[in-house]
Amino acid sequence: MELVKFEVGVFNQEVRDAMKLGERHSQLKDDWADIHWVEVRATDEKAARQKVGVQYPASRGYVITEVVKAF
């Protein structure tokens, strides 16, 4: 199967929550409160989401906002 480039938006909810309380996350920079765009090659949107989810797991507060096909 052909791999296609996707851009995946991801942020960290734990960082956002800490910042709302006027605190800082113990391990991540404040900029993780904002969406970061990660490029990944995958066969489809679902596979792209899974690949990024391994690197940025929901169990550590990461949230995938969207997956778009890159051109």
**Domain chopping of the chain, boundaries:** 4-63
Q: What is the pLDDT of residue 13?
A: 98
Tokens at 49, concatenated: 């989401």
Residue 71 is predicted with a pLDDT of 81
Which among 46, 44, 43, 27 has a CA at the least distance from the CA of 62?
Answer: 27
Please tell me the predicted confidence (pLDDT) of residue 25.
Answer: 95
Neighbours of 48 (CB within 10 A): 26
Predicted confidence at residue 35, as pLDDT, reads 98
pLDDT at 1: 83
| Residue 55 structure tokens | 């690197």
Mean pLDDT by 10 residues, the chain (71 residues): 96 98 96 98 97 98 97 81
- What pLDDT score does 44 carry? 97
Q: Count H helices and E strands in the chain, helices first.
A: 2, 3
